[in-house]
Structure 1
């Protein structure tokens, strides 16, 4: 096969190909042992087989860029496009800007493209502006590849019914390739395809990293019917799982975060292999796979898919990422599957590959990433082998070799500059002032495709936010989505402004659009905070921010639409039917999970500062989601106990200690959530100035009634006789602890969540026992607090709550939780932790 490059500097290089062919065959043949007989058919778009039934397939093309001032040219003027036949690989690409934004010494771009005709043409075209723009490349690697990623049957599209066919006419760009739970794998450690696999740790999201595992050295991976070149053994003998603690695993997702270009579809390939001794049967470990907050697959079981241990398997999914001219994050999350009740509540992943798919115009080019604050650039010499020194003469080298007659490997390398092409005239390569030394083509460990690293950019206004945080909408798109802000679409009005119901992406996605009111006290800071916080957070119980608009001095936020609105509108002053008690408990648990994640699951503690029933939204499945992060603040570091800040929040929910001392902690959210719990129980506002003075504040009035043992007298009349006494007691006890006057006496959100889940179990146990809940009266004194010498009980009283043993209640107790019977004659020794430790699959989760 003859290869040519449509650049003025390349014919000279091509002429030396024949003389170097044999030399590099000898150098490379010793290192490369083909695992399959793979040939390249340069003229066909579909797979063909010869008489020996050998497959013919497209090429891997890797482009290497090291931004520098070559030949006296400013590196920032290197702005160009790259095409291969009908495919646009790069458009107005800036290697300098990309390297700076991603904090990389150099950039590698890898593509899988079909060769049309008998030539592989790569065209480097300087951009029209600036006038002195030029194109360059440091290395080109061309490698024939097997039929590895095509699928004529179609790959399932996440969130859609019809699959997407990926054939050899489909061009792909590899943007990520990770060895999950393991270390980097150099090209020489790959399966003969010279791919680089990177450590997954930089892409893990949140504080819960799971645990990495490695197979026993005696384990032998059996590829079975899967081609051995699919991924190296090292990928399948390391993995990352959630860990052995089922209750903890059930509360979080194992999540990875990837920065990608908007406006494309992506092929996501996940590699799996069970190699541990304790996972050998079906339904021992089953989990759900989510991509971009959408369900990719439920109840995936590696053993069921592979049929035995030590056998690898992979799953392909396509995810559509709408938008244009921006970057955003792609989320990959795993969570134990509760429905199938597996033996272990866990998930596992061995490897990830993510490819951008060409669009309808055969385009793969995205936008240049936006650089953040200056950071130290990785020193390329750290990864240079000892024998890599070269002079700075710009001698261009093309190397190629044929291994055993079955592999064609063409490597075109340039010593610092392989081809520099001015927009109007070519430059003599011998006059370049490039750096001493050169970057080897297989320099591994320092670089990756564009978009494979994150920036930590922040700004003073939304326009300075990095575009990869979330989707940027034009004002015209917002007007179209809201029918020019039709008042009939108003869902509500808050402190920030009006919230409209809207539709985007041709009506396929329903959204809530919050438009800032110029007269509102909440302004630019809250707008920016909301974007910065929510765009980096993804959790089942946090509302998802889709994007924003800041054109024409507007401040507009776009969220997922929550079908059932706010929690408050289902509690009081509404024509909607009252919520059953169990549903209220489940909503409380969901909101608690969201807040618990903010406090402990994110990289830094996040304090919401405005927890209230209007900021807890309900989706179409009644799943609670915490919203409105405009007042949120990053919590204290390990060296500090609080954050000193101006007091902000909502009256009735405001932590009295925070108000007095202006010292914010996560316990401030706990206090507000305690008020929410009483609001849910009593179905009345947190503040009601029309009531007598002692009843105006719900928190104070509820504390007073709880002390007197008459809390049941102020609860929602609809709930009378519908709450199991033990559940009522646990719920009231939890709410009281939350509104303790001193933050140190309040529980953490994790403890609150634990108690609410336990309360739900108590309710379900009572219902399942066959005893009529409405036949059990809630009597005065049943839920008294032992005052421990204190004469008065303040609204934030920090006394110890007694259980049924000290309350005068009957001490006989029998429960069935998680399939196990828990009984005690007098309940002595049966602490909540003892009960909860038995729960393998709590329904409240």
Structure 2
């Protein structure tokens, strides 16, 4: 036996060194679990996995519940390891595994290979799993999970705290799914040290409150990454058998930074009190940093994004180790950490935290993702800190662990993961640089989920319903039925019976002041339009056809909208528009000149708009593209018109159909809001909304209004937000020919904003023409307009103020201003996901219906539009 006291050392010093070495050996040694169960479910005998671990059969395990079946997989893909994925145990009723355990934390790992077993179809394997008092899976489909992630096999990992006794795992087939069953290939129960508890020391990101992860907290590991390094197998971990992925699939954008690695012979020194099983040494020997060029580093964020469930809190553990030999002192490398667009750490300094370089340290952050869409991206981003004036404008990260935290009712179950995105469609570049302001929402680091697929599904579904409904109606109606709803307004109690003309023609004239709206005879309208010559046709809308007219020997030009008795829109919209526009006068509202109502004819006469609709100057047009200042000025004008409707009239007026085809341009490109056929008078002072049947144009429709059928002026604000993104991107509100996540402009723009790539969908005609500050301001207010709930949207007055301020920013920059391309925010030459030859929904014959009205996009290309007003681009306009 070796003498522990070498003769050349004093005895007391030798004892001290021995004590230190023993302590270090204990801390450095792999963790030895007190409880360790590895069950190869459905198998016979003992087998070994690829890491050399021994798995036993579950035949002799303590099982309870209904009957079960042990089965081999019908097919075994070459990529799938034999253990523990070759066999499975199948349950067609509730079934429980019981494990005798000591007190403390346990890793519970469930292994799945979704294949056909025992003549059961893999797709029908839908079930729930509870671990003690915690629900970890609910209505879970291993088949769909693997399919969405493009995995052949996978495992789920949980950490729960147990008392000494029995730990139960219960599998329950989904009762609401026919032929459902539960299955499991492998179960691992492994004690682990309580290394993820916070004891109230972790702070909620964005809040000043602490968060306690204690014995009553269950965790699900959703991501564990070796940042900047290779994947680490379970056997390469520290006795806890945690697999560590590489971070390449999660790094965002083309600016992926640089890999940093130490000499493998370098000794990483774990600090006192931090055992090495917190993370393996190979996590700390590699890292990802931003790069050597400060100017480049200041222009982007080093970002990762992670698909997660909403409605949960997440523990985000970041591992750091300063392994650059040039960085040995405080304030040499200082950076900001953002999680979900909030500042988690304004001044991260790894050396200051660890007290020296080559010493690991980790930091825990808690972030809550409120319920919204079932899943969204959790963002992590790093950016150099400039306020501390460090030696290097750079950032570094070695590892990431993300854990879902159970809700108050013990739930950890979430939704299916989103399908892996098509990288050929989404080709992200660098994110926008951060704002110079001090807001906690630093820069443009965004978190969020794509809903364009939902829009596509809804569009198709509604189209089918509308088509079926129309065909059915045509079969049951005769010719008299088709015109039964087209009656003179006099029959609705609006005529003056003392007026002979009114009784004869059903004229609406007596209720309208003659100085506000002229009553045209039908003969005058025929003369003005050359008897509705098709050569004068400007377009077609839901109300009917629109013609260019001339009176006074051609000196006065008019836009004449002739109602179609067979159209979906009729007397109510005619009456609404007539009532409203006869009483409203504003520079930015279309002017009603007069009307004609004779012998079932309903005709509205407007001032002629020489430059037609805003849409005609944005996409699918031969018109010269509008300049950025023109677009901004048009939006300011339209906002003034809507602001007047909301606040300047006697009663609040909600337009209800704001879109680019309802914003008209006169000969000087002055914007005029048009088409008030769907408008509603707003709520009284003691009410917050108007309850009404949902009408509007799909792609612009307020989702809250659609869900609740409660209309407010904020519904117009939402639609106007879509208009703002149309002028920014030069694409339609709906385009089903694009990839499904890009069908809805509103959803796609919000997604790009969350990803920090909103600049990439900028209209190519605007590149080099928009100052970055102006762009940010317009994009910021557009995003706010599209808030899911009206209470979180700005008023139209706030929108107007912001747009006017944006115009000042643009004009104050002058002709020699720095544009987006030169403001450290490079833009690709071609927009990602946008075709230069954009086509719209009507090019495929697509239309939809809500509330009995068409909700298709208005952009039909069957006509050559000229100076068109209102929604005249589709016969089924709304």
TM-score, scaled relative to structure 2: 0.46
- Rg larger in 1 or in 2? 2
TM-score, normalisation: structure 1: 0.48
